[in-house]
Structure 1
Amino acid sequence: MAGRDVPFSFSSLDSSISSLKNCQTYVDTGMDIATGVALDLLQSGCDTVDVESMESVMLEYAAVNRDLNNYIKAVEETIGKLKQKSPEEIPNLKDLVQERYSTLQSKNNDDELRRTDKFIQFKEQLRDLRKQMGMPSEEPDVDLDEDEDIAVTQSIDNFICAITQVEMVNPVKNKVCGHSYEKEAIEKMIQDRHKKMKLARCPRIGCEYHDVQIPDLVPDTALKRAIEVHNKKPSR
């Protein structure tokens, strides 16, 4: 009889794993909010320390996400092994999962938190917003006076979509080559090319990336904010 109860217990655990995976959505949402707050702080001219505090928040979220992934992995691997053995009695899953989880956690390296996609995108958005708004970068201070007008002109050029040739409203950034386009325009271009069984080349002149995919595109929040700020400024 005990053996017959095991599948039922595993089925219940599968449902619990799904609930844990849903928690990852909340972590992603938290990281998106933290990115938005950091961009707001930067855009409003707040002290660098305030902006950097959001970097710490992002790293904390990344650590939570890593720990959550390790726990889910520990549960899934433990259940997988038990299902293969078809135990006659329900084992102490808590201890088995904790043992596997501890093993996975022992391999953690905090440097890897800075290499997660969300954190990299966070740093890129801050860097791009500083660039688009003509702000000093995080690099050592340099004299920007002579290059100010050139930088502003280059930024304005970056506001124009290579496909529509008009200023972007909802820009997305290609994670592969780094170029940005109007979301609707680039998605339509990709879909049209794929219908013809052809690759979609990046429309930016000089770019050699020849296989743009919709999953490559992420919202370019920094560029969108820079365009909005520029449009609010009185013309000189």
Structure 2
Amino acid sequence: MPPARNFGTVDQAVKSITTVDEYIKVGMEIANEVAMDFVEHDTEHIEEHTEQFRKLMIEFVRMERDLKQFQEAVDFVKEQAKNITEPRVNLEAMLDQKLAELQQGNKDHDLVQHEKVLELNQRLAEAKNPESALKTLQMAPIEDEDIELTQQTISTRCPYTGSEMVVPMKNKLCGHNYEREGIINYIKQRRKKAKCPVSGCANEKPMEISDLEENKELKRYIERKNRQAGKRK
């Protein structure tokens, strides 16, 4: 029978890693928002700010990757230790070896392809060229004259709740947008009778939550609009 091993200290360290990982995710979100503020307020040094925030986001991604690999190596060693009968096996050396194996596949290219880096790049590009972002929104499929997105204007008001959208969700079937919380509650309440609440919508199919997807382009537009409104106050 394998000797009992005390992993209490290791488990405590892993909990700390989980906390750090949460901090990293928060840091990514903050970096995203601060980058937008810098780009919109200091247009004279926009390229310099863009590069600095890209490097910062890549470092966040690198830290996230390193933490995940360390966690994976720890889990591997703990699993192996369950079947080890030799009491003098160097678990620390086993951990170092497994970590080295995982790190062999690390490539900088993977970091720049991370979703958060790509999201930052897109938001920075849109902030520098807002007209391009506006055209992207205006090219969304439309079914009737009452749809939120038109060639003349972009409405950020939810057609169901009547409130300004914060997390816009797009109906994949008709292209209409709604505030996430409101439309999900509507679908749950109406069930099979939950048709698109936009007047005159040609889509007669009852809505399901799976028909919705976050409209990231519109969300970024709303965030940029709110920041600009805040600057005018």
If the length of structure 1 is used for normalisation, what is the TM-score?
A: 0.67
Question: Distance between the aligned counterparts of 1:128 and 1:162, measured in 2?
Answer: 26
Partner of 1:54: 53
Taking only the aligned residue pairs, the percentage that are identical comes to 23
Q: 1:202 offset after TM fit, Å?
A: 8.2
Do the aligned partners of residues 114 and 154 (structure 1) sit closer, same or farther apart at CA in structure 2, a change above 3 Å counting? farther
Q: Which one of 17, 28, 37 corresponds to residue 20 of structure 1?
A: 17
Query: Any gaps of 5 or more consecutive residues in structure 1?
Result: 138-152
Q: 1:90 offset after TM fit, Å?
A: 5.2
| 1:75 correspondence with 2:74 | yes
Tell me if structure 2 keeps the 8 A contact 1:62–1:113.
yes
Tell me if structure 2 keeps the 8 A contact 1:172–1:218.
yes
Tell me if structure 2 keeps the 8 A contact 1:125–1:222.
yes
Do the aligned partners of residues 15 and 155 (structure 1) sit closer, same or farther apart at CA in structure 2, a change above 3 Å counting? farther
Q: 1:199 offset after TM fit, Å?
A: 11
Question: Distance between the aligned counterparts of 1:202 and 1:114, measured in 2?
Answer: 38
Question: Distance between the aligned counterparts of 2:77 and 2:101, measured in 1?
Answer: 12
Query: Any gaps of 5 or more consecutive residues in structure 2?
Result: 135-149
Q: Which one of 105, 112, 127 corresponds to residue 110 of structure 2?
A: 112
1:89-128 matched pairs, under 5 angstroms: 89=87, 91-128=89-126
Q: 1:190 offset after TM fit, Å?
A: 4.5
The answer to which of 155-164 and 89-98 deviates more is 155-164
Partner of 1:144: none
Question: Distance between the aligned counterparts of 2:24 and 2:75, measured in 1?
Answer: 20
Q: 1:108 offset after TM fit, Å?
A: 1.1
Tell me if structure 2 keeps the 8 A contact 1:39–1:222.
no
Q: Which one of 36, 55, 61 corresponds to residue 39 of structure 1?
A: 36
The answer to which of 18-27 and 180-189 deviates more is 180-189
Question: Distance between the aligned counterparts of 1:122 and 1:69, measured in 2?
Answer: 22
Do the aligned partners of residues 136 and 97 (structure 1) sit closer, same or farther apart at CA in structure 2, a change above 3 Å counting? same
Question: Distance between the aligned counterparts of 1:110 and 1:179, measured in 2?
Answer: 39
1:138-217 matched pairs, under 5 angstroms: 154=151, 156-164=153-161, 166=162, 168-172=164-168, 181-192=178-189, 196=191, 212=209, 217=214
Name the amino acid aligned to 2:62. Answer: A
Question: Distance between the aligned counterparts of 1:26 and 1:76, measured in 2?
Answer: 21
CA RMSD of the aligned region, Å? 4.1
Question: Distance between the aligned counterparts of 1:127 and 1:192, measured in 2?
Answer: 40
Spell out structure 1 runs of 4+ moving beyond 6 A: 176-179, 199-208
Question: Distance between the aligned counterparts of 1:187 and 1:229, measured in 2?
Answer: 27
Q: 1:192 offset after TM fit, Å?
A: 3.3
Q: 1:20 offset after TM fit, Å?
A: 1.3
Question: Distance between the aligned counterparts of 1:90 and 1:181, measured in 2?
Answer: 62
Q: Deviation digits for residues 182-203 of structure 1, max 9, x if unmatched?
A: 243233234436xx3x598888
Question: Distance between the aligned counterparts of 1:60 and 1:199, measured in 2?
Answer: 48
Question: Distance between the aligned counterparts of 1:199 and 1:91, measured in 2?
Answer: 64
Name the amino acid aligned to 1:31. Answer: M
Question: Distance between the aligned counterparts of 1:155 and 1:13, measured in 2?
Answer: 59
Partner of 2:7: 10
Do the aligned partners of residues 35 and 228 (structure 1) sit closer, same or farther apart at CA in structure 2, a change above 3 Å counting? same
If the length of structure 2 is used for normalisation, what is the TM-score?
A: 0.68
Q: 1:126 offset after TM fit, Å?
A: 3.3
